[in-house]
C-alpha cells in the first residue's frame, strides 16, 4: 500500500524540483565556448586566450551594477600587460541594439560576445548579475566575483595581481 503511493509522490517531487544547474566555482575548469561577437566581427573563443589570465564578465544593459562595472573594467584592462591579461565580456541582452546603445556612449577596448539565448551563463551557472570569473592561464576558474559595488575594483585588481604573480613563478 505504501509503495503504491511512493511512485506518484516521487513524480510530484521530480516535477516540482527546480531545474537549477550547478554553479561553477573556484577550481573548476571554465567551459570552452565560441560565441558570435557583439560587434559582428567573427566569433569569440575562450581557447584563443589560453596562456593569458582572462577576466570573463557577464553583463547586460538592463543591469545597473553591470553598467557601473564596465568603466572600471576598462580602466583595469589598461593596468595589466596585454600579453598576460585579457578581458572578455559576454552580453546577455535579448536585443543587441540595447547593448550597442550603451557602448556607443561608453566604448570598451575589449571583446564582447553576444549570447541573447543565455546558453553560456547556463553552463557557468551564473547566480546573479553581474558575475565575473577570473580564469588562469590553464583555463581554470580561480576567482568568482558576484555583483558589483563601489570598491570592488580594488579586490578584483588584487586577485588579478596575485594570479599573474603566482603563475609567473610557475606555482600552478
64-83 mask for other proteins (x: CB under 8 A)?
xxx-----------------
- Asked if 145 touches other proteins (CB under 8 A), the answer is no
- DSSP assignment string, 6-41: HHHHHHHHHHHS--PPPPP-TTSBPPP-EEEBTTSS
In the complex, minimum distance from the CB of residue 126 to other proteins, in angstroms, rounded to a whole number: 6
Q: Which residue has the cell 557583439?
A: 38
In sequence order, the 6+-apart residues with CB closer than 8 A to the CB of 65 are 129, 130, 147, 148, 149
Which ranges of 17-142 would DSSP assign to H, the alpha helix? 64-77, 96-105, 119-124
- Asked if 62 touches other proteins (CB under 8 A), the answer is yes
Total residues contacting other proteins by CB under 8 A comes to 33
- Which of 39, 48, 118, 139 binds other proteins (CB under 8 A)? It is 118
In sequence order, the 6+-apart residues with CB closer than 8 A to the CB of 87 are 54, 55, 57, 73, 76, 77, 110
- Asked if 169 touches other proteins (CB under 8 A), the answer is no
Q: Which residue has the cell 543565455?
A: 118
- Asked if 170 touches other proteins (CB under 8 A), the answer is no
In the complex, minimum distance from the CB of residue 120 to other proteins, in angstroms, rounded to a whole number: 9
Residues 80-99 that bind other proteins (CB under 8 A): 92-94
Q: Which residue has the cell 570598451?
A: 108
Chain residues binding other proteins by CB under 8 A are 5, 8-9, 11-12, 15-16, 18-20, 58, 60, 62-66, 92-94, 118, 121-122, 126-131, 146-149
Amino acid at each position: 500500500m505504501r509503495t503504491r503511493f511512493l511512485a506518484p509522490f516521487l513524480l510530484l517531487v521530480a516535477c516540482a524540483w527546480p531545474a537549477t544547474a550547478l554553479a561553477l566555482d573556484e577550481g573548476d575548469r571554465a567551459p570552452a565556448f565560441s560565441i558570435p561577437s557583439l560587434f559582428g566581427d567573427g566569433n569569440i573563443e575562450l581557447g584563443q586566450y589560453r596562456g593569458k589570465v582572462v577576466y570573463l564578465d557577464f553583463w547586460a544593459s538592463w543591469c545597473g551594477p553591470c553598467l557601473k562595472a564596465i568603466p572600471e573594467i576598462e580602466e583595469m584592462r589598461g593596468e595589466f600587460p596585454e600579453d598576460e591579461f585579457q578581458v572578455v565580456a559576454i552580453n546577455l541582452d535579448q536585443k543587441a541594439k540595447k547593448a550597442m546603445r550603451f557602448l556607443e556612449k561608453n566604448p570598451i577596448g575589449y571583446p564582447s560576445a553576444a549570447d541573447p539565448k543565455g546558453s553560456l551563463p547556463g553552463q557557468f551557472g551564473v547566480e546573479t548579475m553581474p558575475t565575473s570569473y577570473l580564469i588562469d592561464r590553464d583555463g581554470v576558474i580561480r576567482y568568482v566575483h558576484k555583483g558589483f559595488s563601489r570598491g570592488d575594483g580594488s579586490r578584483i585588481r588584487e586577485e588579478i595581481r596575485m594570479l599573474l604573480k603566482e603563475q609567473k613563478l610557475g606555482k600552478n
